[in-house]
Amino acid sequence: MQATTNHLETIGPVKAVVLDWAGTAVDYGCMGPAAVFVDVFQRFGIRVTVAEARQFMGLEKKAHVRSLCGLPTVVGQWRETYGHEPSEADVEALYRETEPMMVAAIARHADPIPGLLPFVDAMRQRRIRIGSCTGYTAPMVKVLVPTAESRGYRPDAVVCASDVPAGRPEPWMCYLNAMQLRTYPLAAMVKIGDTLSDIEEGRNAGMWTIGLTQSGNMLGLPEAQVRALDPDDLNQRLVAIGWRFQAAGAHYVARGIWECAPLIDAISRRMEMGEHPDGTQARRR
């Protein structure tokens, strides 16, 4: 007997998008979180570079601290300073410092990225719902959401890492977004983010994915510094970032949210032709 897929006939057009927060919707360059991790480890006498801190961006914040504690450079410094490798108790101690500092940083880095509000308007015109998810925890989101709303941005659903059993790259935040938005199947949804873990999360949830190369963590520069770069240098950096997103499974890459509305339309067209994000074709009646 020939095996058959269990897909719906066609699932288009796009029904919902799920946006990451820092580096995707707000905080151009994802500047707030990176600085916090550097400062927290410095309080413990441990040097962590911004580049090292950015490696794990997108993860739930305690998982981020734990991942930094596993870096050979951090392990070596910790052993020299404290006589042992970082333990789970050390992770907890670091995180206790991280959370209040992150809350303060979020309040200073909640400006919408240029192009966000026009993108939201474009989605509203298409009757596409807007969800959101983040590696931030509930106390952080409690500050972020009203601050962003005061500046014009309020998604239809807000899910954070502490709302689910595990954060990225596991798919649970995307699933909870679908529930809150009352949207299905997930193959009719698009995840947009600026980290590799965003793409992995979206793919694990069975969604279409778009990786952002310029506005977020992968480039890691504020808007003014991006504009000051030599255009050829910038383009080379963005191409290299794009390759990394594609290797992680991104269906599309864009410089920032300002380029995403046409990509949503392109995804809708592919869906209406019967294509699913896993590359299979829908059954025909």
* 8 A C-beta contact, residue 250 and residue 210: yes
**Rounded to the nearest 10 degrees, what angle do helices 88-108 and 61-69 cross at?**
130
Q: C-alpha 22: how far from its chain's center? A: 7
Following CA atoms 263, 268, 274, 276 in sequence, which dihedral angle do they give, to the nearest 10 degrees? 60
Distance CA 101, CA 140 (A): 10
| 20 given a catalytic annotation | yes
DSSP 3-state percent helix, strand, coil across the chain (nearest 5): 50, 10, 40
Active-site choice (15, 20, 27, 194): 20
- DSSP code of 187? G
Q: How far apart, in Å, are the Cα atoms of 204 and each of 13, 27, 170, 193, 264?
A: 21, 26, 7, 14, 19
15, 61, 62, 191: which is the annotated catalytic residue? 61
Annotated catalytic, 191?
Answer: no
Catalytic positions, written as ranges = 20, 61
